[in-house]
A and B are shown apart, each in its own frame.
Chain A
Amino acid sequence: MGLFDIFRQNRKKNTATLAKERLQILIAHEHASGNGLNAPDYLPQLRNEIMEVIRKYVAVDDKSVNVNLEKGDDFDVLELNITLPDRQ
């Protein structure tokens, strides 16, 4: 094998290795964020109860409360977004 062949071999090796590394990072990330699939099943219930509490104080509709769970490496973040009605 000549010198140039060795260079080519190395360059080529990189794309398969690169593919593996990219996949590992991506898949780890997708798993961590639950793939949008593994959201805990108490979320809908939680959302409903939160809605009830808020409605005691402000008139909000269904769409204005958004509950989202993000999984991190060490801890999960429960994000609650409430859009209050316009002030007239």
Chain B
Amino acid sequence: MSRVIVVTSGKGGVGKTTTSAAFSAGLASKGYKTAVIDFDVGLRNLDLIMGVERRVVYDFVNVINGEATLRQALIKDKRVDNLYILPASQTRDKDALTEEGVENVINDLKDDGFDYIICDSPAGIEKGAFMALYFADEAIIVTNPEVSSVRDSDRILGILQSKSRAAEEGNVVKEHLVITRYSPERVDSGDMISLDDIVEILSVPLLGVIPESGSVLQASNSGIPVIMDKESRAGQAYMDIVGRFLGEKIEHRFLDVEKQGFFKKLFG
């Protein structure tokens, strides 16, 4: 059975696209047939983060308008089997995503045997963000340890549980919290909200914490989802998230200030 998962946040620039790319690549690497859809119409970026920008011929809106088939528009990842990317359109027409059109694409992906359909939401609470969450069975709420991000997450949770199709049918969308750009040093010094406080305020089960890490920028520079960087803390933290999502018992990591080892101090 396919599951539709929206990656959303309300606020922009918190790490939705980074998370969508990592999460979908992780699921695919575990053998699940996964499609990741960029809902950010007009501001396509997922293709760049996943390194397929030069292979975009048709996009999501072309498929909705019947100008291309889904098969033509889906880009198969060359590094990870089972991974497919559906790029956003660069059109400026805000109404390009229709409810019927989006539903048809999602249903076609389900019929094609996709296990997971990941919807990378744009920022805001406008049409694109609404369409990204409307058909979701589950939601990954991406939050930064910062007041406006936490507030926006709460707001998007309200929308999710009242305006999605699941909500309209009296069901709940399963929620997962992912806190990104977490800096234990700054939490320790008292100028960053701690993950416990965020979890308490939002009361959403914590799926994982991604540390602030330079490797995220390096990964996006190279067009390789950071989860493929097995050396990096962010990559490892994303892999943990995928494992936990699939039901594995994995301890949370990278939550505390790294103790500088003697050798690291000496040579680091």
A residues sitting closer than 8 Å to B (CB atoms) are 9, 12-17, 19-20, 22-24, 26-27, 30-31, 35, 37-38
Contacts and interface: CB of A to CB of B under 8 A. Distances in A.
Interface string B191-205: 111100100010000
A19 B192 CA distance: 9
Contact of B194 (A16, A23, A24): A16
Contacts of B150: 23
A13 B190 contact: yes
Given A19-B147, A19-B193, A31-B158, 5 more contacts: A9-B190, A22-B147, A26-B151, A27-B151, A37-B158
B162 interface: yes
Nearest to B154: A27
B187 interface: yes
Contacts of A9: 189-190
Chain B: interface secondary structure? helix
Contact of A16 (B155, B159, B191, B201): B191
B71 interface: no
Contacts of B147: 19, 22-23
A13 B186 CA distance: 10
A19 B150 CA distance: 10
Nearest to A10: B190
Contacts of A24: 201
Contacts of B159: 37
Contacts of A16: 187, 190-194, 197
A35 B197 CA distance: 22
Contact of B189 (A12, A20, A27): A12
Contacts of A13: 190
13 contacts: A14-B190, A16-B193, A16-B194, A16-B197, A19-B193, A23-B193, A27-B154, A31-B158, A35-B155, A37-B158, A37-B163, A38-B158, A38-B162
B221 to A, nearest CB: 31
A23 to B, nearest CB: 5
Q: Which 4 A-B pairs have the closest CB atoms?
A: A13-B190, A12-B190, A35-B158, A20-B197
A35 B151 CA distance: 12
Nearest to A27: B154
A23 B146 CA distance: 10
A12 B189 CA distance: 6
A35 B156 CA distance: 10
Contacts of B189: 9, 12
Contacts of A26: 151
Contacts of A27: 151, 154, 201
Contacts of A23: 147, 150-151, 193, 201
B143 to A, nearest CB: 11
Contacts of A20: 193, 197, 201
A75 B104 CA distance: 43
B106 to A, nearest CB: 24
A15 B190 contact: yes
Nearest to A15: B191
A13 to B, nearest CB: 3
Contacts of A15: 190-191
Contacts of A19: 147, 193
Nearest to B162: A37
